[in-house]
Amino acid sequence: MTTDNELPRITDDAHLMNYPPPDRWDDWEEYDAQAWPDRVKNRFRLIPTTCFNCESGCGLLAYVDKDSGEIRRFEGNPEHPGSRGRNCAKGPATINQVYDPERILHPMRRVGKRGGGGWEQVTWEEALTDIGGRMGRAIREGRNDEIMYHVGRPGEDGFMDRTLKAWGVDGHNSHTNICSSSARIGYALWSGFDRPSADFANARFILLLSAHLETGHYFNPHAQRIMEAKQAGAQIATVDPRLSNTASMSDHWLSCWPGTEPALLLAIARLLLEWDAVDHDFVRRWVNWESSLIHKYPDRPRNYGSFIDALKDEYAMYTPQWAADECGLEISQIETVAQCIAEAGHAFSSHTWRSVGSGNLNGWQGARTLQFLHVLTGSVGTKGGLSPSGWVKFKPEHWNMPPAHSRWNELLWPKEYPLAHHEMSFLLPHFLKEGRGKLDVYFTRVYNPVWTNPDGFSWIEVLTDEEKIGLHVALTPTWSETAWYADYILPMGVAAERHDTHSYETHAAKWLGFRQPVLRVAAERDGKTIARTHETNPGEVWEETEFWIDLSWKVDPDGSLGIRKWFESPNDPNRPVSVDEYYGWMFENSVPGLPDKAAAEGLTPLGYMRKYGAVEVEKDVYQVNDRPTTEGGVEIEGTMRQGFKTPSKKLEYYSETMDDWGWHDETIPGYQKTHVYWRDMDMAGSERILLPIFRLPTLIHTRSGNAKYLYEISHGHPLWMNATDAEKLGFETTDLVRIETDSGHFVMRVWATEGIRPGVVAASHHLGRWRQHNERGNDRWSSALVNVEQLGDGKWRLRQLGGIEPFTSDDPDSERIWWKDPGVNQNLAFPVHPDPISGMHAWHQRVRLVKPEPGDMYGDVVVDTNKSFDVYKEWLAKTKPGPGPGGLRRPLHFDRPVKPTDSAYRTR
């Protein structure tokens, strides 16, 4: 760890300077600002919870009015170690979600055909009995894997893993392969950990291949620390073809061709090697250079100097001149960034998430080549550098954990993608169409694949086919395009209405957050006894924790399946375990330091977490690899040290795993062409590269449609097009443009701007919500009424019947809606592009930009799912199917959600 190049910090811990002190949270008085000039006092109970509006898990404080019992607003929780009292706009907007007049308040069951729009209210008991009974039958008949749980935003760590293990079901499905699998495998190949943890606050130089100040992964916790570093003098460089808000706040903006980022990063690596800006002590101790020489450079001498010579030769072609041509940059830009990295040394920090990884075939080399720069400079685990996520992500043990199951579900983990970092979730419709299996009970949970995933019409085709999906249960806090095709819609709580625990790698410290239903906590503090959270939530809105416990009892009512025992109270096996028993055990037994902190305040560990909403577990976590250990480590210069999570316990430059599984050209950090390679495009004609995945800082994928504040801020959805392209193609701002993909087309409006490089166009993935009924199916704050038509075999058209319009409701603001543009659901027109290694959907599209044809209307999306199926087949042909060495379905050291026993990895 270096200290010589640390920058001065603004404050010691950058905490807020003024806020209600926690010892007065139970009875906080303040004057009502809206009553001014009268002096009207309000009395509140301030109850902490956790934001559920992105993956960052920032702390919130709910202001519960002591007179009315209502939540009046949300502010930041100053006691939260990750967010330190700050939130982005989406945190306080939780209040909109609680009081959304359009929200679903009761369980509903389909009436008529699926997707027909008919619903009836049912009781929780009816829903649980029906769903649980059906699952119990499937499990009794050995059809465990016909039960699938498909999650969008988990917002919790470990509860569902435990539940699926207890059921003995290999049915965990995630959204990760349309989100971040690519970056994850790039990082994991180096260290075994699939995410980075940047120590931004202490960095001297920050390189971002994402829009981290505005929308990146761990947005608010990261953004505040990046700004802290910037105010202390750190420099920032952003690599993005688009002038994002982050790029505009950066010292250097590198607008390279999409997918060429690894070439840029390897050119920087070459310069670092040429300048000898390499931490040789670190590389010699912690990189698998001996094995790299043996396998990759067998003719070279077996010494460290020879390894460095091999690197110099390996990357000799990546000259600044070559990279500048390949990436569309200036040589001076590449040299300047390399210089900044060399000078920052151990205080060089970076991040990539989505962007290059999620956009491109071979995009996973983006994270791998970025990590290479940290390895060379020794900025791994240092103050101001980059650590593996696992060092700071804190996963407490869950109560009474069931053993791993030994099943393997090929609908999720097919043989073609043995190295896929997560489940091949977005190929599910194609697998079902091919007859690879079927589903009896399919849960979508805070997930909206019809809208979010590529090729949404193929999702509609399988969701409406009861032979393929027997029962679709949508657990959701809000309406969605997918919930429309459910058999049950089960309303689940937003941030202030549920229990979850979670921890994220926001900075160089470990912490645990606790989300809680604030009205239940308030009622219990008033002395009331609450059995189930839906008793205090709006309507009958529930929470998943209690739902899964009660459902599991319905799956196995008499305990004969061996499932019920995992959900029985430890104090009385004749009733389900309560949330207090469950989380009370966790906080008492598996969070180091918490019992002592609680005792110091005269509280139980659960009482402490209910009071503060979070606890810091370890501060200043650096260089964990160097910590001495007695078991499972690696010997470094005579001492056993903890090391990394790879087979060698070192950072792996050369990956034997890639070689073993047939990817001989991908064994080391390298550069392979993207599917949207700029030199392959007809740029003289109408072809361009579409970037469809940039986030807006104020929206939440598909879940912010119920937040009026957020839609008032963000509601336009133009196609960013460089002004020179607009002129060449004959477009002006606000003109309609037909954007043709390989499976169809959609119609948007042009925004001619200098803020994107020529040859590239972009549209945010947040907008374009739609509903099929005027008063149901989606929030009217955000969605267009549409007509979804099947025009022929596989041919679909979605047409907007109007824009966003004012409506009458209990909230007078709904009459004041002034925004109109719902945007365009572009993802419908994207065929799947599964990267053959990471399994990630490569989101970028080769598109043709043409004038609209007669009859085209704004928002039209027209798709032929037969064509999208053909594209699926083309990409499937790029794979190298398993099994691999020893008959394995997947390398044993490759993690996966709800990891089964080793025996399940084996085909023989």
Query: Which residue, 87 or 545, has its beta carbon nearer to ligand SF4?
Result: 87
Supply the minimum distance, in Å, between the C-beta of residue 19 and ligand SF4.
16
Q: How far is the CB of 346 from ligand SF4 (least distance, A)?
A: 28
Angle at alpha carbon of residue 552, lines to 547 and 558, rounded to 5°: 135
For the bound state, the minimum distance from the C-beta of residue 436 to ligand SF4, rounded and expressed in Å, comes to: 36
Q: What is the DSSP letter of 679?
A: G
Closer to ligand SF4 by Cβ: residue 152 or 758: 152
Distance, in Å, from the CA atom of 711 to the CA atom of 706, rounded to the nearest integer, reads: 9
Nearer to ligand SF4, 94 or 360 (CB): 94
Distance CA 710, CA 764 (A): 15
**83 versus 642: smaller Cβ distance to ligand SF4:** 83
- Residue nearer to ligand SF4 on the CB measure, 58 or 463: 58
Q: Please state the closest distance from residue 214 (CB atom) to ligand SF4, in A.
A: 10
Smaller CB distance to ligand SF4: residue 360 or 704? 704
Which residue lies nearer to ligand SF4 by CB, 56 or 362? 56
Kindly state the smallest distance separating residue 220's Cβ from ligand SF4, in Å.
Answer: 3
Report the C-alpha gap between 473 and 453 in whole angstroms: 18
3-state SS, residue 366: helix
Residues that bind ligand SF4 (CB under 6 A): 51, 53-54, 56-58, 83, 87-88, 90-91, 219-220
Q: Which is nearer to ligand SF4, 393 or 564 (CB)?
A: 393
Residue 446: name the closest of 488, 482, 413 by CA: 482
- Considering the complex, what minimum distance in angstroms separates the CB of residue 83 from ligand SF4? 6
217 or 738: CB nearest ligand SF4: 217
In the structure encoding, which two tokens stand for residue 684, read together?
A: 């003289």
Joined together, the tokens standing for residue 402 give: 């069931």
- Tell me how far, at minimum, the Cβ of 451 lies from ligand SF4, in Å: 19
The least distance separating ligand SF4 from the CB of residue 710, rounded to whole angstroms, comes to 10
Cβ-based neighbour number of residue 652 at 10 Å: 25
Q: Which is nearer to ligand SF4, 83 or 545 (CB)?
A: 83
Q: Does a cis peptide bond (omega within 30 degrees of 0) precede residue 900? A: no
* Nearest distance from C-beta of residue 222 to ligand SF4, angstroms: 9
Neighbouring CB atoms inside 10 A of 903's CB total 9
**Cα–Cα distance, 496 to 68 (Å, whole number):** 17
Nearer to ligand SF4, 219 or 413 (CB): 219
Name 121's bridge partners.
Answer: 108
Task: Read off the tokens for 670.
Answer: 């390298």
**Which residue number, 438 or 502, has a Cβ lying nearer to ligand SF4?**
502
- Pick the closer one to ligand SF4 by CB: 56 or 235: 56
Tell me the C-alpha distance between 348 and 341, whole Å. Answer: 6
Q: How far is the CB of 88 from ligand SF4 (least distance, A)?
A: 3
Burial class from Cβ neighbours inside 10 Å (0-12, 13-18, 19+) for residue 857 reads exposed
The Cβ of residue 816 has, within 10 Å, a number of other Cβ atoms equal to 10
| In the complex, least distance from residue 586 CB atom to ligand SF4, rounded to whole angstroms | 22
Q: Tell me how far, at minimum, the Cβ of 162 lies from ligand SF4, in Å.
A: 24
Distance CA 671, CA 263 (A): 6
Nearest distance, CB of residue 15 and ligand SF4, angstroms:
16
How many helices (H) and strands (E) are present in the chain, helices listed first?
27, 32
∠ Cα 222 652 254 (to 5°): 45
- Prior bond of 854 cis (ω within 30°): no
In Å, how far from its chain's centre is CA 58?
15
Question: What three-state secondary structure class fits 241?
Answer: coil
Alpha carbons 501 and 579: distance in angstroms, whole number: 12
* Concatenated DSSP letters of 32-65: -GGGTTS--EEEEEEEEEE--SSTT--EEEEEEE
CB-based burial label for 581 (10 Å; 0-12, 13-18, 19+)? middle
Strand partners, 784: 770
